[in-house]
Chain A
């Protein structure tokens, strides 16, 4: 499983990323959602006027490239290719199209595209990839459409295309003639889509790099049915699932005699998600349990009540062998252990691995530079610290759910998925239908954070609908969602630093592990900065399901490594920012090794900006309890300075200064929103986040015992600053998140005088 961290960061190269995907044709042309009609999103904020425009939307659209449609009245519709889960792609991606189309953003309406990888590319949201992978294709689409409009105009006016200019959706000629895009759209649609179009210079942007409001904002604040859980069709049934109560357990038998007689109940039956001998096709087939009981009825409350009346018998699973296909196509045989886990045993196992007591195979070497053994042997001082972090539940505010209507010759499925194309091959196998007979509709997601990269709930919904031959909507309760999650793995890492007699850092060693994945990114900072460097890892298999969680691996590394570097800086007698800048100087001027994954100049640039904007080291800030951390992941650089105080006996982050380099900023205010959210989430997860187990069962089941950060715990102020450059942009869903953990850990030390090595940090405070 050690490839998954790198995998999610490089998903656009994956075999399921759209290239070679079968050509498909939707049997339902419209993208109508619940309630009927097209769900258009408006770029303007004009109160009642928006509703008026929806009502009067014209029906004649001329299509220019797969992404753009224009009416004679000059309303411009832009399709968003990627699923939306709060990262604001339904605004930022269309902005890229509109920029090169050179239209008036006020005339743009946005619609979620159909799931069609041939037309719209990979169509996944994950690994902060949306902006990065669509940056060129979407600008090309806009520029190509503009070119088609210019050619149509040149033909109409009998002038050369080179004499036509465009501005804000109007075509002009020096003779004084002008026309709107709408007037020329029908003719332009007949022109072949040009290749090799010229893109604008960044300095000429008028839409990109200017803050545009969320195109779905009005629908969000008026409670429109945007989400999978809101999906509804006539005759639809509600389904829920009873899974085993603990990892390592399976269904033995059940008695639903009484429950079946309850009002509104249609059917109660057990089913297997995958049949005997099924070959798991990579991470997309991750599922918590294979056999479960479906309860199906008319309304949610009736199904919930019937579920309580079923008598279940469970038994131990024992050891299970599974065959899966790796993402390079290789066959992997995995043994899922029988062990029924509790957190105390998990911690004990981790400690045994971490200090080498465990008899299992030794840690796997990931990177070695120089002679680290000698460096540690010759060191005048060795600093060694071990860091731990628990499983985390994603806790998307919209619990997992999915709609499915499976018929003999076709299927319609709809709901929250980060990567519909990843689920399609499995749906084809389960339903025995070709791709062009399975329509997958992408609904807005009430959060994702990696959880909805795994669509086992979509497979479950499809199985239930297949059995009943009826449209059904599967809903997880919060308890279902939390207690059989696909969690952030449990991690531990031991860091060692060797200092010589002059307090120079001469050796560095990280050994990291986890249940069941290690978090280590061996080629990232501070690799490349230290002559003698060693990174190794170990992993403990488990039957607890884990997966991507906002910045996989990084969300732990940044806490441990950035906290450790603070202690090393102190031992070296250096300021923590200056110490990092010194290391980066080495990586810039004379890097150690060749495979260093980060750009030392951009990393240093973020630290310099942070230093300036936070007033780091300035006399006026001398009294503040501040912690700093910076990290690179998902193609961007981010750092924070956190100002902490004690409030009612608990640490409180009052103010945060953030600096980010993600290349060109597409939508500045929305980008700030992403950074602010990552800061709040990072504080919450590091302070409170934990999913623990007892006898295989999750000990937290809902928000009364899984603590989430709340309004009164959010900082008073977060100042966000971006490095201004013209580097190709990347997304912000992940990069600002990991360094929050490190900055919080370092501020905790300044505030309390004590180092905190185990998350969640507030567990050690008596009144937490």
Chain B
């Protein structure tokens, strides 16, 4: 076990965990932030996507010991009340079916739009194809992303 001081959603949080613990489980088990989802544990599905210094990152393969001074944003930090433009677009397009993958989808989309405010279809495919949706809401996700782009 080791002690870590982590910058999460703008706040500094203390965590006592095994250095190999993936951020996914630090968030869910230690910090009570369950919006980041477990889907595969091997960076194949994207349900656990968070922002590490603004970049979309799979938290299920990111050990807590690797974070250092980097800033983490989770879905809870994107906006608590659903006012982020991507969250609003998701609601306007009524994207979700079961909803389980959607926080990861939103985090991937928000990172994409920050680095590329007007993505092409190919850009969206490239940025989003690591996020699986078993319900098949991909078309609505694409529409929602395009609606955010100016």
Q: A676 at the A/B interface (Cβ < 8 Å)?
A: yes
Say yes or no for A88: interface residue by CB 8 A criterion: yes
Contact in complex: A714, B1 (CB < 8 Å): no
Name A712's closest neighbour in chain B (CB-CB).
B125
- Chain A residues 85 to 111 lying within 8 A of chain B, measured CB to CB, are 85-88
Most chain B CB inside 10 Å of its own CB: which residue of A216, A475, A703: A703
Q: What residues of A have a CB within 8 angstroms of the CB of B25 in the complex? A: 299-301
A45 close to B40 (CB less than 8 A): no
Complex: how many Å from CA A679 to CA B97?
14
Of the candidates B74, B121, B141, the one whose C-beta lies within 8 Å of that of A223 is: B74
Which residues from B are CB-within-8-Å of A448? 98
Residues of B within 8 A of A88 (CB): 97
Asked whether, in the complex, the Cβ of B94 is within 8 Å of the Cβ of A213, the reply is: yes
A215 to B13, CA, bound (A): 33
B96 touches A702 (CB 8 A): no
| CA A272 to CA B64, docked complex, whole Å | 37
* Inter-subunit contact B140/A223 (CB<8 Å): no
Q: Quick one: CB contact mask for B58-90 with A, threshold 8 Å, 1 for yes?
A: 000000000000000011100111110001101
Which of chain A's residues have a CB closer than 8 A to the CB of B97? 86-88, 673-674, 677
Q: Does A220 lie within 8 Å of B96, measured CB to CB?
A: yes
Question: Is A711 touching B141 in the complex (CB atoms < 8 A)?
Answer: yes
Does B6 reach chain A (CB closer than 8 Å)? no
- Determine if B139 and A715 form an interchain contact, defined as CB atoms under 8 angstroms apart: yes
Q: Which of A175-183, A393-401, A522-530, A755-763 has 4 or more CB atoms under 8 Å from chain B?
A: A393-401
**Is B34 a contact partner of A225 (Cβ separation < 8 A)?**
yes
A302 sits at the interface (CB 8 A)? yes
Least Cβ distance of A119 to chain B in Å? 26
Partner of A703, one of B22, B40, B137: B40
Q: Type the 1/0 row for A170-209, where 1 means its CB is closer than 8 Å to any CB of B.
A: 0000000000000000000000000000000000000000
Which residues of B sit under 8 angstroms from A396, Cβ to Cβ? 98, 100, 134
Give per-residue flags for A663-684: 1 if the beta carbon is below 8 A from chain B beta carbons, else 0: 0000001100110111111001
Would you call A217 an interface residue if the criterion is a C-beta within 8 Å of the partner chain's C-beta atoms? yes
Is B53 among interface residues, defined by CB-CB distance under 8 A?
no
Interface size on B, residues (CB 8 A): 66
Cβ contact within 8 Å between B80 and A397: no
B56 partner residues in chain A, CB cutoff 8 A: none
Whether a CB of chain A sits under 8 angstroms from the CB of B116 is no
Contact B102 A220 (CB under 8 A): yes
Do residues B34 and A34 form an inter-chain contact, with CB atoms below 8 A?
Answer: yes
Q: Does B57 reach chain A (CB closer than 8 Å)?
A: no
Cα–Cα, bound, A88→B99 (Å): 10
Contact of A718 among B17, B103, B130, B139 (CB under 8 A): B139
Contact B131 A47, beta carbon cutoff 8 Å? no
CA distance A478 to B137 in the complex (A): 21
A112 lies within 8 A of chain B by Cβ? no
Output the least CB separation between A512 and chain B (Å).
Answer: 27
* Chain A contacts for B79, CB-based, 8 A: 222
Given contacts A397-B39, A681-B136, A711-B131, contact A263 B82 (CB under 8 A): no
Chain B residues near A659 (CB, 8 Å)?
Answer: none
Query: Which residues from A are CB-within-8-Å of B82?
Result: 47, 50, 218, 221-222
Task: Name A704-730 residues within 8 Å CB distance of B.
Answer: 704, 708-712, 714-718
Q: How far is the CB of A55 from chain B (nearest CB, A)?
A: 11
Residue of A nearest to B39 (CB): A397
**Residue on B nearest A682 in the bound complex, by CB:** B136
B138 within 8 A of A: yes
Contact, CB under 8 Å: B134 / A47 = no
CB < 8 Å: which of A48, A232, A708 contacts B81?
Answer: A48
A707–B129 Cα distance when bound, in Å, is 12
Majority secondary structure of chain A interface residues (helix, strand, loop or mixed): loop
Q: Mark B31-47, 1 if CB is under 8 A from A, else 0.
A: 01111111111101101
Chain A 736-752 interface residues, beta-carbon cutoff 8 Å to B: none
Within 8 Å CB of A712, what residues of B? 125-126, 129
Q: Is there an interface contact between A227 and B137, defined as CB atoms closer than 8 Å? A: no
- A710-B99 Cα distance, complex, nearest whole Å: 16
| Cβ-neighbour of A710 out of B36, B100, B121, B129 (below 8 A) | B129
Please give, as numbers and ranges, the residues of chain A lying within 8 Å of B142 by CB-CB distance: 711, 714
Residue of A nearest to B103 (CB): A223
Tell whether, in the assembled complex, residue B44 and residue A221 are in contact, meaning their CB atoms are under 8 Å apart.
no
Contact: B136 with A702, CB < 8 Å? no
In the complex, which residues of chain A have a beta carbon less than 8 angstroms from the beta carbon of B131?
710-711
Which residues of B are found within 8 Å of A220, using beta-carbon distances?
A: 90, 96, 99, 102-103
Is A238 part of the binding interface, using a Cβ–Cβ cutoff of 8 Å?
yes
List A residues 37-63 near B (Cβ within 8 Å).
45, 47-48, 50-51
Pair A673/B137 contact, Cβ less than 8 Å: yes
Q: Are B76 and A223 in contact (CB under 8 A)?
A: yes
Contact of A446 with B99 at beta-carbon distance under 8 Å, contacts A48-B83, A222-B35 already known? yes
Cβ-defined contact, B100 with A397, below 8 A: yes
Q: Does any Cβ of A come within 8 Å of B132's Cβ?
A: yes
Q: A88-B97, A444-B99, A714-B136 are in contact. Are A222 and B80 (CB under 8 A)?
A: yes
Closest partner residue, chain A, to B88 (CB atom): A47
- The residue in A50, A397, A715 that gathers the most chain B C-beta atoms within 10 A of its C-beta is A397
Once the chains bind, are A301 and B21 in contact (CB under 8 Å)?
A: yes
A65 CB-CB contact with B under 8 Å: no
| B98 pairs with A446, CB closer than 8 A | yes
- B37 neighbours in A (Cβ, 8 Å): 227, 229, 397-398, 446
A267 on the B face (CB < 8 A): no
Give the one of A87, A224, A238 with max B CB within 10 A.
A224
The residue among A225, A449, A702, A710 with the most chain B CB atoms within 10 A of its own CB is A710
B136–A300 touching, CB < 8 Å: no
Q: How far is the CA of A88 from the CA of B94 in the complex (A)?
A: 11
A239 at interface by CB-CB < 8 Å: no
Judged by a CB distance under 8 angstroms, whether A418 is at the interface is no
**With A224-B35, A478-B41 as contacts: A216 and B124 at CB distance below 8 Å:** no
Point out the residues of chain B lying under 8 angstroms from A718, CB to CB: 139
CB-CB under 8 A for A676 and B134, given A227-B100, A230-B34: no
Q: Does A614 contact B (CB under 8 A)?
A: no
Contact A85 B34 (CB under 8 A): no
A708-B98 contact in complex given A217-B90, A223-B35, A703-B40, C-beta closer than 8 Å = no
Chain A, 390-439, CB within 8 A of any chain B CB: 395-399
Give every chain A residue within 8 A of B30 (Cβ-Cβ): 299
A221 in complex: contacting residue of B90, B124, B128, B132, CB < 8 Å: B90
CB distance from A418 to the nearest CB of B (A): 12
10 tightest A-B CB contacts, nearest first: A223-B35, A680-B136, A446-B100, A86-B98, A86-B97, A223-B75, A220-B99, A712-B125, A703-B44, A714-B138
- A-B residue pairs in contact (CB < 8 Å), sample of 29: A34-B34, A47-B88, A85-B98, A216-B99, A217-B94, A220-B103, A221-B91, A223-B36, A227-B37, A232-B32, A300-B29, A301-B17, A301-B21, A305-B18, A396-B98, A397-B39, A398-B100, A446-B101, A478-B39, A670-B94, A673-B140, A676-B137, A676-B139, A680-B139, A709-B136, A710-B138, A714-B142, A715-B139, A717-B139
Which residues of A are interface residues toward B (Cβ below 8 A)? 34, 45, 47-48, 50-51, 85-88, 211, 213-214, 216-218, 220-227, 229-230, 232, 238, 263, 299-302, 305, 395-399, 444-449, 475, 477-478, 669-670, 673-674, 676-681, 684, 702-704, 708-712, 714-718
- Excluding A217-B90, A478-B42, 11 further A-B contacts by CB distance (< 8 Å) are A217-B91, A227-B100, A229-B38, A397-B39, A446-B98, A447-B98, A478-B40, A478-B45, A677-B137, A708-B132, A710-B138
Chain B contacts to A: CB under 8 angstroms: 1, 17-18, 20-22, 25, 28-30, 32-42, 44-45, 47, 74-76, 79-83, 87-88, 90-92, 94, 96-103, 106, 121, 124-126, 128-142
